[in-house]
Amino acid sequence: MKTKDENGMKQETQFAEEKRMETFSSTSTPGYASNHPVTRAFDTFASAVTRWAGSPVAFGLAVISIVAWLVSGPIFHYSEGWQLIINTGTTIVTFLMVFLIQQSANKDSVALHLKLNELLASHRGASNKLIGIEDASEEELRKIAAAYLKLASEKDDGKHTADVERCVADAQDKPSRT
């Protein structure tokens, strides 16, 4: 039921925000990336490069390259061109590696969230209110973190799940102090 007045729109928006906190990740997250062949190829390439870049062989090649560059300094009289070679090479490698490492980090983050979601969903005493929390705004995360800090300071009386759900609901209702 949609209303046209301002109060109705505010209530509808608030309801949508509350429902979002109770669902799985939205389609804007990397976990729901398209299954396009280019995306799959990039993912495979990024994974292979980041694994190789973290290997002892890659480190050894980097050290050998730097030593070769340093040794060639006197031959080229430490010219601007000699310096430009290392500056340009490291800049290009760094620029490209940022994207490849970020792709791998995004994939690892999604995998970690899915594992945590499975743990939350499989444990009877755990609250599943936080499944999909990675899509929450920073303000929502601060409110929920404050609720957990409050919960941690209260004494344990065996009603953990009910307390968690109460604190999360309280955090979503109260405006933040930040």
pLDDT of residue 87: 96
pLDDT of residue 101: 93
pLDDT of residue 142: 86
**Domain chopping of the chain, boundaries:** 30-122, 127-178
- Stretches in the chain below the pLDDT threshold 70: 1-34, 155-168, 170-178
pTM: 0.59
Look-up of token digits 């499989």: 122
pLDDT of residue 12: 54
pLDDT of residue 45: 92
pLDDT of residue 91: 97
pLDDT of residue 160: 58
- What is the distance between the alpha carbons of residues 49 and 26, in angstroms, rounded to a whole number? 29
pLDDT of residue 147: 81
pLDDT of residue 161: 56
* Buried residues in 32-65 as b, exposed as e (16+ CB within 10 A): ebeeeeeeeeebeebeebbeebeeeeeeeeeeee
